[in-house]
Amino acid sequence: MSSIRVTVWNEFRHEKIDEKVRAVYPDGIHTAIASFLKGNFDVKTATLDEPEHGLTDEVLANTDVLIWWGHMAHGDVKDEIVDRVYARVMEGMGLIVLHSAHFSKIFRKLMGSTCNLKWREIGEKERIYVIEPGHPIAKGLPEYFEVPHAEMYGERFDIPAPDTQVFLSWFQGGELFRSGCCYHRGAGKVFYFRPGHETYKVFYQKEIQTVITNAVRWAAPVAGPTVTFGHRPEPIEDVTPYEDKSA
């Protein structure tokens, strides 16, 4: 088993109040995601209604990759916790943002844009194309795969251009969407992955599990240099300071 420490965060509200969602995810979306990751990583879960949303300084200090699912309660996430997660991403923690978490405070803060999109919920087919086949997140996938029943998300998706776009979705109704987007922010890596609507069995699908598993490995911190910023009065090389003697 890899030593990568994963925290799966879920707002865990739909499952408590909606029978239809509970039927699909009886123990919560976080538990479903944690279950398929457990064989490969050191996995814990955290939810919105825990103290500090389950994301204490200690939990985040011991998290290499944080997975985020939210939808109806983005506004209930305290800004102070968002700032804490943001600071950890800058330090190198990976962040995987799923589906409706495109509107989460943390994702919008990291993107600096509205993250708005078009949507429709009729359970149509989604075909996800791998458009960057050499990318680590594409490992083990076919050229394309299908989610039989999905909520449609359509362009324009108001995000900054991804550093790497791994997936592109086509929907039965005709729309397109940038479904797998990679970013570097500070020392951290961020991956947005589109599928994951709460009333469909998306997180039980093999290809979806493969993508999220690959994304954890990709987003995990690397032992890179510690970057410092600010004034450098002493040059690295010997340089004679310039003096204008013409005056």
Positions touching Zn ion (CB under 5 A) are 100, 151, 197
**Which residue in 136, 142, 113 sits closest to 191, CA to CA?**
136
Which CB, 36 or 103, lies closer to Zn ion? Answer: 103
Which CB, 100 or 214, lies closer to Zn ion? Answer: 100
Which CB, 89 or 98, lies closer to Zn ion? Answer: 98
Two tokens at 202?
A: 């998306």
What's the closest the beta carbon of residue 194 comes to Zn ion, in angstroms? 10
CB-based contact 82:60 (threshold 8 Å): no
What's the closest the beta carbon of residue 60 comes to Zn ion, in angstroms? 26
Which CB, 100 or 213, lies closer to Zn ion? Answer: 100
Angle between helices 29-37 and 206-219 (to 10 degrees): 70
Which CB, 123 or 186, lies closer to Zn ion? Answer: 123
What's the closest the beta carbon of residue 125 comes to Zn ion, in angstroms? 16
What's the closest the beta carbon of residue 100 comes to Zn ion, in angstroms? 5
Which of 107-133 are b and which e, b meaning 16 or more Cβ less than 10 Å from the residue's Cβ? bbebbeeebebeeeeeebebebbbbbe
- Give the CA distances from residue 204 to residues 33, 34, 136, 142, 209, in Å, rounded to whole numbers and listed in that order: 8, 11, 21, 18, 7
Which CB, 123 or 221, lies closer to Zn ion? Answer: 123
Which CB, 88 or 197, lies closer to Zn ion? Answer: 197
What's the closest the beta carbon of residue 192 comes to Zn ion, in angstroms? 14
What's the closest the beta carbon of residue 14 comes to Zn ion, in angstroms? 9
Q: Among all residues, whose Cβ is closest to Zn ion? A: 197
Q: ∠ at Cα 34 (5, 113), nearest 5°?
A: 75
- CA 192 to CA 160: how far, in whole Å? 12
* Spatial CB neighbours of 153, under 8 Å, sequence gap ≥ 6: 102, 117, 118, 119, 169, 175, 177, 179, 194
What's the closest the beta carbon of residue 232 comes to Zn ion, in angstroms? 48
